[in-house]
Structure 1
Amino acid sequence: MNKTLVISLFTLAGLLGAPLAWASPELARSKNCMACHAVDKKLVGPSYKDVAAKYANDKDAVAKLAKKIREGGVGSFGQIPMPANPQVSEAEARTLAAWVMAQK
């Protein structure tokens, strides 16, 4: 692909609000998500695979998880609270949530 086409595709994806799920491992590390979570094993919080399995049949999973990423929560996976992460933008939270849901 030429450079102009690649830039155009990224611009279009941004305008449509499409999450770029392949970028999420790096985004998760940069937002300190990986301090408490891993893809395939429980750390402080549940693995991303466990989260994806729990929400697999929930059509609103991405929206719910994006909200939890930004606002925090407790009770979904026990009593250890997930702190709020306000430095994550709404778009980043949606990207992260979509990536988590792809971890099956």
Structure 2
Amino acid sequence: MRRTLLFMTLSLGAAAPALADLALATSKNCMSCHAVERKVLGPSFKEVAAKYKDDKTATDKLVIKIVKGGSGVWGPLPMPANPQVSEADAKKLAAWILSTK
């Protein structure tokens, strides 16, 4: 019984950060154009993570794109600026996106 409770606690603890960042992405309207595993209007978060997997400056690049928007990287459709997203939240989102391998 004790092992089962420990396992459940560890399992729930491991899932909590992923759920929290998905909640943040949802609250900032990221999920209107993106999904974790499939292309919507913009690329999936897994595609973004794969593209930037060897780029040590990826977090900083994504923070700028999240807040200021961008174009030309994923095709002709631009990503709009998101000035409602703070730099701190953009960093959390970027780190989470890059972890969705």
Indicate whether the TM-score tops 0.5: yes
**What are the equivalent positions in structure 2 for 1:7-26 lying under 5 Å apart?**
22=18, 23-26=20-23
Q: Give secondary structure in 2 for the equivalent of 1:75.
A: coil
Hey, which bits of structure 1, 4+ residues long, moved more than 2 A? none
Give the residue type in structure 1 aligned to 2:39: K
Work out which of the residue numbers 33, 43, 54 in structure 2 matches 1:57.
54
Shift of 1:58: 0.3
Identify the residue that residue 42 of structure 2 maps to in structure 1.
45
Shift of 1:52: 0.3
Identify the residue that residue 9 of structure 2 maps to in structure 1.
none
**TM-score scaled to structure 1, two decimals?**
0.79
| Alignment gaps of 5+ in structure 2 | 1-16
Taking the aligned partners of 1:68 and 1:88, their CA distance within structure 2 comes to 11
**TM-score scaled to structure 2, two decimals?**
0.81
Identity within the alignment, %:
60
Identify the residue that residue 27 of structure 1 maps to in structure 2.
24
Identify the residue that residue 14 of structure 1 maps to in structure 2.
none
Bigger Rg, structure 1 or 2: 2
| Alignment gaps of 5+ in structure 1 | 1-20
Q: Say whether residues 1:97 and 2:90 are aligned partners.
A: no
Shift of 1:61: 0.4
Deviation per residue, 1:57-104 (Å, 9 max, x gap): 000101100110000000111010000000000000000000000000
Give the residue type in structure 2 aligned to 1:96: L
CA RMSD across the alignment? 1.2
Taking the aligned partners of 1:76 and 1:47, their CA distance within structure 2 comes to 13
Aligned length: 85
